[in-house]
Amino acid sequence: MKDSITTVLYNRQMAPGYYCMGIAAPGYPQLARPGQFVMVRVNQSYDPLLRRPFGIFRTGTEELSHSEMESQDYMEVVYKVVGRGTRLMSHLVAGDEVGLLGPLGQGFCISPDAGGAMRDAVLVGGGIGVVPLFMLAQQLVARGVKVHLLLGGRNCGDILALAEFERLGVKTSIATDDGTLGEKCFVTQLLQATLQKFPAVQVFACGPTPMLHAVQQICAAAGAELQVSLEATMACGVGACLGCVVEGRNHSEQQPEYLCTCKQGPVFDAHELAWTQEALGPVLTPAEDSL
């Protein structure tokens, strides 16, 4: 966990409204685990004041022949322009400075049985929720797990990073609300069909809260293990402000059990959470500058 001022390496538009930013991030290829996030400060001014949380899409090391440095570690965040912070971020170019705090939070937990008893894993991504699933897919594939990726979005413009997953050899199924790509249905319907074929799998999901509620119900009914990555508006990202809490399984007014999305999450085992309508906070779609 480090806080530093670092450099934007590139900032490319992936699809209308979606960008991929590469940021110089020494140590991240070794440090960052799938499902972790970073807090990015888009500039040094007081407006916007707060950092924005972003899931880590991937990390890597680039060989540099022309520079004094032989190689450069980097990390990529993929983000959707939803508010002031992300709009300012979309205007940054190579060489601009950003504040980078991370890697933060608890990532996905890969079962010791992965590749052994656990041969199949289902990854469910709704829109920008695909972001933390890429590094997870990388690690699962490396362990010999067969990864089934299910992506959903309102239309074809919301389906991201398909080529990256294809290069990993991941089998991908797509659902869009308007049928402009893949099947015209909800991604949760794809999940239901997939769980019928592979009943004893581990499911990993990230996306809007209503999608996660549906995924949780489907997995509970099918007896599938589920981990979810939550998004939340955050101020500090380190568990201090208590602005991003969700209700834990045993939460009550008398015995509060609040979990910080930033510190105990953003990835939770589904059993840790309460799953009432209020438990994961209000449904904000799209969440302003959220994870």
Partner 1 sequence: MSSLNHMKRMSPPPKLEVEIAGLRLKNPVMPASGTFGYGEEFSPYLDLEQLGAIVTKGISLAPKAGNPMPRLAETPAGMLNAIGLQNVGIEAFCSQKVEFLKKISTPVIVNFFGNTLEEYIEVARRLNEVERVDAVELNISCPNVKAGGIVFGTDPVTAARVVSAVRREVQVPLIVKLSPNVTDIRVMARAVEDAGADAISCINTLTGMAVDLERRCLSLANGTGGLSGPAIKPVALRMVHQVVSSVSIPVIGIGGIMSAEDALEFLLVGARAVQVGTANLVNPGAMANIIAGIEEFLAQRGIEDVNSWIGSLK
CB of 136 to partner 1, least distance (A): 25
Pick out residues in 142-201 that bind partner 1 (CB under 8 A).
none
Count of residues engaged in binding partner 1, rule: CB under 8 A: 33
Give dist(CA 10, CA 23) in Å, integer. Answer: 7
Question: Binding to partner 1 by residue 244, rule CB under 8 A?
Answer: yes
> Applying CB under 8 A, which of residues 41, 58, 148, 213 lies at the interface with partner 1?
41
Question: Binding to partner 1 by residue 242, rule CB under 8 A?
Answer: yes
Per-residue mark of binding to partner 1, 63-102 (x: CB under 8 A): ------------------------------------x-x-
**Residues 6+ away with beta carbon under 8 Å from 115:** 143, 144, 145
Q: How far apart are the first and last CA of the chain?
A: 18
Written as six digits, the tokens of 230 are: 């939550």
CB of 224 to partner 1, least distance (A): 28
Question: Binding to partner 1 by residue 281, rule CB under 8 A?
Answer: yes
CB of 26 to partner 1, least distance (A): 17
Pick out residues in 209-238 that bind partner 1 (CB under 8 A).
233-236, 238
Nearest to 191 by CA among 215, 160, 216, 223: 215
Q: Please compute Rg for the chain using Cα positions.
A: 18
Q: Is the peptide bond before 256 cis (omega within 30 degrees of 0)?
A: no
How many beta carbons lie within 10 A of that of residue 255, not counting itself?
7
Give the DSSP H/E element, type plus range, for residue 142. Answer: helix 133-142
Nearer to partner 1 by Cβ, of 64 and 240: the residue is: 240
Per-residue mark of binding to partner 1, 99-128 (x: CB under 8 A): x-x---------------------------
Cβ atoms of 195 and 219 closer than 8 Å: yes
Nearest to 130 by CA among 111, 143, 149: 149
Chain residues that interact with partner 1, rule: CB under 8 A: 1, 3, 41, 46-51, 99, 101, 233-236, 238-246, 253, 255-256, 258, 263, 278, 281-282, 284
